[in-house]
């Protein structure tokens, strides 16, 4: 592997047909400079989420090959699933991991978007840090209307694709390609079953409510456990740390006489997101990431 490393988490609209799923995943197994970390297909969502890591060249090559399979094999006219979706290749985010700036990740996203549009005659939108206008930063805004609604939406001047034709691909729909920071899914549990308290705390902690800059949060009812949860996406752990969200939730919970009873970390995250937490709570002075054995092994 080169010393430039990104993560890519492409989402495909196929969660049921194992043969197709394996053929989509195959390029990530076979391409040099790329390592397949995880893939999971969900039948209810009818969606495949792949996590790969690699250098820019290897990722570009393998992502385009996987996209070719998905565009050929998936017919969105027959697609049903619980998760919102707009295309056979629904979304392709590139995430800087090591020795890669956000600018370089954006360049890679644009190059993949351009080639995909050309090769597959596919309308492609750039989103998040790769977005060409503020109203295209948010993936949910782009995807609104989903595959079925895009036949009309794509005709509007403000929704002209960044690459490819201003016409939905007849079977593969449209695709979003973007660049973003690593996302850490962090949920904090409260010792109450009152969802209003979780909602109120979520509103105070998240960015749009005046809270932390890189924190999205909603209240969630964990009915089986009889408790509620603040479910968060930490969208840039290098700037908004996990301990900040955790401590602010404790501060808000005090208003209601409610305790924080635990937390969850979902999926894969960089060690540094937790090392920052440890360094804060232990008050460690002058700590360097080069002191971490695994960093020496990987990048030393």
**Footprint of a copy of itself on this chain (CB under 8 A)?**
7, 35, 37-38, 53, 97, 189, 242-243, 246, 260-265, 267-271, 274-275, 277-279, 281-287, 291-298, 300
Q: Contact at 8 Å (CB) between 51 and 39?
A: yes
CB of 86 to a copy of itself, least distance (A): 28
Question: Which residue, among 179, 175, 61, 56, has the nearest Cα to 125 in the 3D structure?
Answer: 175
In whole angstroms, the minimum distance from the beta carbon of 275 to a copy of itself comes to: 5
Q: Which residue number, 73 or 276, has a Cβ lying nearer to a copy of itself?
A: 276
Q: Specify the 3-state DSSP secondary structure of 185.
A: strand
Query: What phi, psi does 195 have (nearest 5°)?
Result: -65, -25
- Catalytic residue from among 45, 79, 83, 169: 83
The nearer residue to a copy of itself, 172 or 249, going by C-beta atoms, is 249
Q: Is 79 a catalytic residue?
A: no
Which residues partner with 178 through β-bridges?
Answer: 93, 127
C-alpha 223, offset from chain centre: 26
Residues in CB range of 108: below 8 A, 6 or more apart: 6, 56, 59, 60, 94, 179
The residue among 17 and 263 lying less far from a copy of itself, judged by its C-beta, is: 263
Sequence-separated (6 or more) residues with CB below 8 Å from residue 1: 33, 35, 54, 55, 58
Helix (H) or strand (E) holding 51: strand 47-54
Closest approach of a copy of itself to the CB of residue 22, in Å: 19
Backbone angles phi, psi at 123, to 5 degrees: -70, 130
Minimum CB distance to a copy of itself, residue 3 (Å): 13
Task: In whole angstroms, give the CA distance from residue 269 to residue 272.
Answer: 8
- Between CA 288 and CA 241 the distance in angstroms is 17
Measured CA to CA, the distance from residue 64 to residue 221 in angstroms comes to 39
Question: Smaller CB distance to a copy of itself: residue 19 or 290?
Answer: 290
Of the pair 68, 274, the CB lying nearest a copy of itself is at 274
Q: How far is the CB of 53 from a copy of itself (least distance, A)?
A: 7
By annotation, the residues acting in catalysis are 83
């Amino acid at each position: 592997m080169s010393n430039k490393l990104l993560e890519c988490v492409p989402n495909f609209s196929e969660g049921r047909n194992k043969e197709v799923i394996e053929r989509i995943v195959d390029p990530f197994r076979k391409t040099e400079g790329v390592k397949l970390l995880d893939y999971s297909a969900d039948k209810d969502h009818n969606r495949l989420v792949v996590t790969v890591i690699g250098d820019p060249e290897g990722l570009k090559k393998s992502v385009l090959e996987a996209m070719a399979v998905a565009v050929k094999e998936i017919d969105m006219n027959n697609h049903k699933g619980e998760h919102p979706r707009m295309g056979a290749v629904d979304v392709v985010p590139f995430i800087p991991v090591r020795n890669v700036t956000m600018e370089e990740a954006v360049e890679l996203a644009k190059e993949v978007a351009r080639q995909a549009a050309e090769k597959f005659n596919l309308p492609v939108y750039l989103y998040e840090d790769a977005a060409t206008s503020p109203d295209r930063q948010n993936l949910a805004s782009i995807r609104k209307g989903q595959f079925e609604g895009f036949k009309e939406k794509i005709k509007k001047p403000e929704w002209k694709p960044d690459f490819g034709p201003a016409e939905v691909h007849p079977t593969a729909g449209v695709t979003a390609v973007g660049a973003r920071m690593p996302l850490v899914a962090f949920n904090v549990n409260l010792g109450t079953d009152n969802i209003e308290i979780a909602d109120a705390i979520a509103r105070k902690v998240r960015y749009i409510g005046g809270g932390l800059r890189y924190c999205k949060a909603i209240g969630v009812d964990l009915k089986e456990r009889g408790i509620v949860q603040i479910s968060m996406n930490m969208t840039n752990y290098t700037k908004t740390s996990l301990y900040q969200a955790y401590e602010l939730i404790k501060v808000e919970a005090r208003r209601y006489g409610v305790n924080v009873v635990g937390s969850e970390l979902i999926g894969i995250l960089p060690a540094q997101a937790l090392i920052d937490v440890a360094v804060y709570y232990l008050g460690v002075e002058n700590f360097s990431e080069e002191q971490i054995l695994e960093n020496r092994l990987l990048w030393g």
